[in-house]
Each structure stands twice: as C-alpha cells, then as structure tokens.
Amino acid sequence: MSFVGSYTHSLDAKKRVFIPSKFREELGEVFYITRKFDTYLSVYTADEWEAFVDKIERLPESDAEEIQDFILGAAQKCTPDASGRIILDEKLASHAGIEKNIVFVGAGRQIRIWSEELWNERESKRDFAKMRDIMRQYGL
C-alpha cells in the first residue's frame, strides 16, 4: 500500500474534517493519527500503527518513555462517520497549527496532515538541488 497525492479540506465549526475518499478506502475502518517532531500529523493504518508501536516498545525503557508520552500519549484512534468525517483532536490540531484548512499529503506508508498555510510555506522553500542530490545518491 502506498499513499500518494494531496488533497485540501477544511475543518467545520464542530472541528470535523472529511478524510479524502481515495485515502479512506486504503486506511480502512479504523486508523490512527498522532503528532511527530515537525509541525504535521501522521496518519497510519491499523497495521502500520501496530508495527510503529512495536518498534517504539522495543526501545530501552529509558529511551522510550518520553517518546511514548509524546507520540502515543497524543495519538487519536479514528473511525470516520457515515460521511467520511472525523473530529480532529484539539491537541493534535494545535500541534500542527491547524485552524481551518488542511492538506492531506500521501507519504508512502503514511499520510501527513498539514495546515494549508504551513504546507504552502514548505512548498515555497523546497531545496530542489538537495533533493536531486539525495535521489541520485540512492539511485532514484
């Protein structure tokens, strides 16, 4: 499974957002959203989430504690309603700077959720030469 493409949607007054239909089909009935160390959110299928949690749990307890608190403690288990919407947790929305418009970005095995403003800023600052060099380095 590989998530590709990007889609823009808006939070409604009740903090609900439509999950893009192309992504909903692949995410399944239950999926997970959490924060990471950048200003976006990561969305995982149930299977990818379990694999991710297993990796975190294999860390030595002294290393894992803060990571578990930050990532797992903020995670949201999601089941879209009949219209394909979820309510985005306020803590997660705040972490990603999301107030209204959201960009869902396919990123392979996960989906990234950005505030539209931060996504547009990131897009405008892309370092194409650096990306080209990295791709060449890895034969892509």
pLDDT at 1 over 80: no
Mean pLDDT score, 5-30: 94
Q: Which domains does the chain have, with CATH numbers?
A: 6-137 (3.40.1550.20)
What's the whole-number average pLDDT of the chain? 93
pLDDT at 62 over 90: no
> What's the confidence (pLDDT) of residue 20?
95
How many helices and strands (H and E) does the chain possess? 6, 8
* Sheet-wide strand order for 41-45: 6-10, 101-107, 110-115, 41-45, 31-35, 76-78
Could you read off the pLDDT of 106-131 as tens digits, one per residue? Answer: 999 999 999 999 999 998 888 889 98
